[in-house]
């Protein structure tokens, strides 16, 4: 995806996020397209065009994907899909544009070393959901965070997570990596993740990686799928500790009543990601490489 196209998608997302915030605050009133457009200070025509370009669907269809009723229907479908997966002992993981995500966990010794001797490149780049700071080692992506603070603060957070690593900023490299994650045209590709967490957290994250593109799952379903049926609260804590957004798709976890719930990088962004995926749900890909735990 060309740099200017990535930046344009990021700008379009900013408008969509403002529209979502207005819709969330006025959901009971079922605002019209004209009312939403007026609230975000653009014409109805412009809002319609931005939605069509960014989401690939009309505003009316996009807004349908943000409703609780749609979410609850998808939760029921997810339950069936997970039971099939468990019965056959396989995972049929779908990825947009044939993107395959594989992962490996750091060893306890590597975690204890706090990144000693590891070179981490990081940078800021545009994505369909706003600016991202991504960090990677020679083994794969270790950090993927949407910008919700200054560049300095976000770089400082990365340094806190990896206090003994060698950090080097590389914005062009970050944009190239984002092109692999969000290609302009369907392209087969693979992104490898390096996970750092407790055994419990890693099992939860791995279960999420096995969810399908455009699928939603409840906290209870995720707990069961990860093998911890009665640990829903702990699963929530594991999601909150996730440092690799989108690629470990914690945005797909919603409440059993269909409400989106909280998200580390903002509720509007989570809703936008869910609707964006739902709008592209017909695009499927090959199964992901099974992750390797400790």
Q: Which residues of 108-146 are buried (b: 16+ CB within 10 A; e: fewer)?
A: eeeeeeebeebebbbbbbbbbbbbbbbbbbeebbbbbbb
Give the closest residue to 81 by CA, choosing from 234, 175, 213.
213
Quickly state the pLDDT bin for 3 (edges 50, 70, 90). low
pTM of the model: 0.84
Break the chain down into helix, strand, coil percent, rounded to 5: 50, 15, 35
- Residues whose CB is less than 8 angstroms from the CB of residue 39 and which lie 6 or more positions away in sequence, other chains included: 18, 19, 22, 31
Question: What CATH class is the domain 68-279?
Answer: mainly alpha
pLDDT tens digits, 91-144: 444 444 456 788 888 888 888 888 898 899 999 999 999 999 999 999 999 999
Task: Just list the catalytic residues.
Answer: 250
**pLDDT of res. 84:** 45
Q: Is the pLDDT of residue 161 over 50?
A: yes
**pLDDT of res. 294:** 43
**pLDDT of res. 138:** 93
Whether the Cβ atoms of residue 247 and residue 193 lie closer than 8 Å to each other: yes
Quick one: what percent of the chain has pLDDT higher than 90? Answer: 47
**pLDDT of res. 98:** 53
pLDDT tens digits, 10-63: 889 999 999 988 988 887 788 889 999 999 999 999 999 998 889 888 888 888
Q: Is the pLDDT of residue 242 over 50?
A: yes
CA separation, residue 53 to residues 13, 96, 111, 180 (Å): 10, 17, 42, 20
């Amino acid at each position: 995806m060309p740099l200017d196209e990535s930046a344009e998608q990021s700008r379009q997302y900013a408008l969509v996020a403002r529209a979502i915030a207005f819709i969330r605050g006025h959901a009971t009133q079922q605002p019209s397209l004209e009312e939403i457009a007026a609230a975000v200070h653009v014409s109805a025509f412009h809002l319609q065009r931005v939605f069509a370009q960014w989401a690939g669907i009309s505003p009316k269809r996009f807004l349908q994907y943000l409703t609780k009723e749609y979410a609850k229907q998808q939760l029921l479908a997810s339950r069936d899909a997970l039971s099939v997966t468990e019965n056959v002992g396989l995972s049929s993981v779908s990825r947009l544009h044939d993107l395959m995500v594989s992962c490996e966990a750091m060893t306890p010794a590597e975690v204890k070393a706090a990144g000693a001797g590891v070179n981490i490149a990081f940078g800021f780049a545009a994505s369909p959901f706003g600016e991202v700071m991504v960090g990677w080692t020679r083994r794969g992506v270790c950090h993927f965070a949407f910008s919700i603070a200054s560049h300095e603060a976000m770089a400082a957070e990365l340094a806190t997570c990896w206090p003994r690593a060698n950090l080097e900023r590389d914005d062009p490299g970050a944009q190239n990596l984002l092109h692999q994650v969000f290609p302009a045209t369907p392209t087969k590709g693979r992104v490898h993740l390096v996970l750092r967490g407790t055994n419990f957290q890693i099992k939860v994250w791995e279960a999420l990686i096995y969810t399908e593109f455009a699928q939603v799952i409840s906290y209870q379903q995720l707990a069961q799928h990860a093998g911890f049926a009665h640990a829903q609260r702990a699963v929530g804590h594991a999601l909150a500790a996730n440092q690799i957004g989108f690629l470990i798709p914690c945005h797909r976890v919603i409440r059993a009543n269909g409400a989106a719930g909280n998200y580390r990088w903002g509720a509007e962004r989570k809703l936008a990601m869910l609707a964006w995926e739902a709008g592209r749900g017909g695009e499927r890909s090959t199964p992901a490489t099974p992750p390797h735990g400790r």
